[in-house]
Structure formats: structure tokens, C-alpha cells
A = this chain, B = another copy of it.
Amino acid sequence: MKTYLLTPGPTPVPESISAIFAKPILHHRTPEFQALFQEVKVGLQVVFQTQQDVMLLASTGTGAMDAAVSNIFKKGDKVLTVNAGKFGDRWSKIARTYGLETVEILVERGSAVTGAQIQDCIKMHPDAKAILFQAHETSTGAMMPVQEICQIAQKHQLLTVCDGITGVGVFDLPMDRWGIDVLLTGSQKAFMLPPGLAFIALSERAWQYAKDSDLPHFYFDLKKERKALETHQTAWTPAISLIQGLQESLRMIRAEGLEKVFNRHKTLGQCARKAVDSLGLERLAKDCPSPAITGFWVPEGIDGKAIPKLMRDRYGVTITGGQDELTGKIIRISHLGYVGIFDLTTAFSCLELVLKELGHGLSFGTSVGALLKEYASEDRAK
């Protein structure tokens, strides 16, 4: 059975990248690898839109989140966390693990935090040092108002620590221009690679904080990583094959052009929303839709777990349901990374087959028609 992947990670790996993994692995203490590494360093700065060093960790994105906290803060520091879903919740858990005082801004699932919520929280906790948030809450598909968060934070001298895991390379997140102090992501998202590699960059201000940090860390030592970067190395053994793949991935992104990459995702998001609406399904994140993921509530009377299960086991199409308290209640169709319009026609064709089978009334072709119509109008608008 042919298989199709429309999940928020891993995302599909392009054939030209898979082909690299079939090539002999390089040794990392060689001029060849250093030349590759140098190219990759520059490419990462382009995608992060920063002049700062972007460090490569042999870990997943969660490792980079862990590193951000343990390298920047001091025991007892107070931080605000935006908890709008499973990944916001993870910021709180990591902060608490290291003994930080954590003030959670709890946001309804499927919604974005508002500037007012943040301002109120800061008013109540003027001694907070930082705000930890997602650019995009992967568990619900809600986009956060990153630029607004940064503006408010700057006004109150709060450090902004942004999990850009399903954001960097999907939509505009200009680190330097917006003043994001810490930005991080993982390889298996917009970078179109297998999991195992994470990227993190710190602003000058964040590096200042890092000087005073007293939290324990050994593997995730960002100062050591920055030092290693000077000689085109990583502190520990690099995830060599993934970095070989990253070279191709960055070449692909730069060849397409960052703006075009963002526009492609934006269009796919618009198409997916039209498709969901056409089936009479209720979308999550209605006021803050993302170009990465489109989620909707499972319709009344349908077994929510059966939808992704049937799509995967019977038709080879992998999408995701909800996590934690949203398990069985929502469906998420992802459209980030190496994804185009025909991945969406596949996903919605399959969704129609499965919804119909599960008893949801629909006329075949409805959602695909809606998304093609949207695509055609976008296409002509360009």
C-alpha cells in the first residue's frame, strides 16, 4: 500500500534528501564535513532570519526547549508560560523541572493567547523575567501573535523564548527584526528531515542571561556549542547524516525562496480551511488559523479515533487526532514541509471516503472541489 504522511512531524522527506542517506556517511573531523557545516550555518541564519549563531543539537525539538531553559535561567527565576495546548504545557513542565517559578497563562484549546491576557499577567507578576510560548501550538493548530507578544515583552523587559517548532520555515518569524530572544525548532518539520536534530539561536540579551545561569546542564551546553561553531564543529558528535541532509534541505528552501515557502504554506492553509468548511465541520483555531495545520472537531456521533485509524490502516494516509484532553475529539491535517496541493487532495479524498463510511453525510468531491477552487483563485492571483 502506498503511504502518505500529513502529520505535524515527521513530515515527508524529499526523495533528494533520502538519496543522501544512501550515500556513505562522512567523518565529522574532516575538511569535507567542515565545508558542509559552514554552508549549513549560513543557511540556518537565513531561515532563522538572524545574524546570531544557530546551534545544532543532536536531539529533538524538546531537547532544544530543555536547553533554552537550563542555559538561560537561574534557580527561582519567575517565568510566564503560555499554555494553549500540549506544547505550552511542556514549557511549564520544563520550567518547573529546573525549579523556576512558573506562572501559566492558560488559554482555551484552539485559541491563541491575547495581548491583553499577557499584559494582565505581567501586571500581576512584574518580577517575571521571561515569557515562554509557542509560535504555533501544534496540538491545536492555533497561531500565536508572536510579534505582539514580543512588543509587549520588550516594553516590560521580558525575555521572549519562542518554540518555533512548527513555525520556523512555515511562516514569517524574523528573529532579529521582531526581537525574539530565543528561537528554536526541530529537523522533522519545515526542514523536511527525519527527527534527531534541533536548532536554537539566542539574542545578545539572551546570551547575557546565559552568563549568570546556574541551572545544571551537561549535554545541552549552549556556550560550549557556540564555541564549537567557531571551528565549524559541534560540542559532541554531530548527527552527521542529518546534517548532510540539512545541506540539501537548506538548498531547497533557499532555491524556492523563503517568501515563496511561506506563501505556499499560506495557500495550503487557506485551501484546507475551505475544504473543512465545505464538509460542514467545525474548525479549531477559527480566529487564529495556521498555515501549518488545520484542525476540526470530530462531528457528533462519529468515533473520533476511528477516523485517523481507518485512513491509515485502510488507505495508507496518516493524519493525526488530538492529544491529551483532545484525544478522540479533534482531527488535525498537517500541511507543512515537503507538501503540495495534491497532498491535500489526497488527504481530503481519503477523509471523504472514511467520513462517509462512518456515517457522516456528504457528497463525494465536495471538499476536494472546495480546495481546488480556492487553489485556482490563489494561483491566478499570483
Most buried by B among A349, A370, A373, A380: A349
**Interchain CA distance A152-B294 in the complex, whole Å:** 60
Residues of B with C-beta under 8 A to A4:
342
Q: Mark A266-305, 1 if CB is under 8 A from B, else 0.
A: 0000000000000000000000000000000000000000
**A380 (CB) vs chain B CBs: closest residue:** B357
- Among B18, B365, B375, the residue within 8 A (CB) of A353 is B375
Secondary structure call for the A interface: helix
A364 touches B372 (CB 8 A): yes
**A343 (CB) vs chain B CBs: closest residue:** B2
How many copies of the polypeptide does the oligomer hold? 2
B364 touches A345 (CB 8 A): no
**A1 (CB) vs chain B CBs: closest residue:** B340
Give the bracket for the number of chain A residues in contact with chain B.
35 or more
Instruction: Given A317-B342, A342-B346, verify A365-B370 contact (CB < 8 Å).
Output: yes
Q: Mark A192-210, 1 if CB is under 8 A from B, else 0.
A: 0000000000000000000
Judge if A123 is at the interface, Cβ distance under 8 Å.
Answer: no
A binding-site residues for B, Cβ under 8 Å? 1-2, 4, 15, 18-19, 22, 315-317, 338, 340-343, 345-346, 349-350, 352-353, 356-357, 363-370, 372-373, 375-376, 379-380
